[in-house]
Amino acid sequence: MEITLCPEELTSGRMSRPHLDQAVEAIRTDGYVILENVVSYAHLDLLCEKMDADLQTLMTASVLPINFVKGHLQQDPPPFAPYVFRDVVANPFVVQVTRELLGDGLFNSFYSGNTNCPGSGTQPVHVDLGQLWRGLKVAHPAMSLVVNVAPMDVTEHNGSIELWPRSHLDTNVALDDATIKVDERLVEARRQFAPPVRGNVKKGSMLIRDMRLWHRGMPNHSDRPRQMIAMIHHIHWFRRGKPIKFNRGCEAAFENSDLDANVEFTDEPIDYIFRNRPYDYHEAAVL
């Protein structure tokens, strides 16, 4: 579901209790929610321009960081000023929702993105993380939430993400499975009673989804790339990798938030363009 924030909420930087309850309930039930109107167009325009330019650089890589199928690239946003914005990296409305679900001490582990290029293929249905325990009768509560923001309107035309409502509660897919891809038989069975939807979003919206939600990247039929920044908020006890590196000069974006941004500031250049690797991509595969 989409929740459109109203002027009072935008001015105060706080979502009303009814909106917060709706958002939390949507994630618990459907596995995702869209918050509309929460990111500045000016910020998104700057990010889009820079990420378009960075993509040109990325395309010169000897090995492209392709996720599953052609055209779906892992592309990190620029981790330095003036491209790091509070309404993206520590959006107060998003953090209100993720804190309500994950509790105090929630932290971010990720600042990257999916760039869906014109002519891209269809990814296999997958989770970003399965259930923590195998063989559960009932799914456990949310412990990790993906936060996505695209710098433009996204529809079927430019390759909006496919989402499988309520699939985060499916206990067949576990964290220790050999693959994050969902078995084709499970996918076809689920399609009969809970078919997928498209995560279409207006510019300025953020999508919050349970990390267990089945999803996939779809073809981009437009003539320009669709970027989508991704962050992951975790419950405080979840395994914590290395802090995320940002260059000094953008500290203010992370301050005074309930989210532990888990960042390390450095003056060293950060190789954010070329550091990603292909994921489950087999050039010779016959599909």
Ligand X SMILES: O=C(O)CCC(=O)C(=O)O
Among 43, 190, 212, 215, which residue interacts with ligand X (rule: CB under 6 A)?
215
Q: Closest CB to ligand X among 98 and 227?
A: 227
Query: Taking CB under 6 A as the criterion, which residues in 222-251 touch ligand X?
Result: 228
Separation CA 220–CA 271 (nearest Å): 27
Pairing of strands 229-234, 107-108: antiparallel
Q: Closest CB to ligand X among 116 and 144?
A: 116
Among 217, 235, 262, 276, which residue interacts with ligand X (rule: CB under 6 A)?
217
Q: Is residue 34 within the footprint of ligand X (CB under 6 A)?
A: no
Separation CA 84–CA 159 (nearest Å): 25
Q: Which stretch binds ligand X (CB under 6 A): 16-24, 53-61, 182-190, 212-220?
A: 212-220
Tokens 């009969």 belong to residue? 192
What is the 8-class DSSP label of residue 137? Answer: S
Q: Which pair of structure tokens corresponds to residue 172? A: 């067949």
Q: Closest CB to ligand X among 229 and 250?
A: 229
Among 20, 161, 169, 261, which residue interacts with ligand X (rule: CB under 6 A)?
161
Quote the least distance from Cβ 80 to ligand X, whole Å: 24
Q: Is residue 190 within the footprint of ligand X (CB under 6 A)?
A: no
Q: Is residue 211 within the footprint of ligand X (CB under 6 A)?
A: no
Query: Taking CB under 6 A as the criterion, which residues in 71-90 touch ligand X?
Result: 72
Check if the beta carbon of residue 61 is closer than 8 Å to that of residue 274.
yes
- Classify 79 as helix, strand or coil: coil
Full 3-state SS string of 19-88: HHHHHHHHHHHCCEEEEECCCCHHHHHHHHHHHHHHHHHHCCCCCCCEECCCCEEECCCCCCCCCCCHHH
Q: Is residue 116 within the footprint of ligand X (CB under 6 A)?
A: yes
Q: Which residues bind ligand X (CB under 6 A)?
A: 67, 72, 114, 116, 123, 161, 215-217, 228
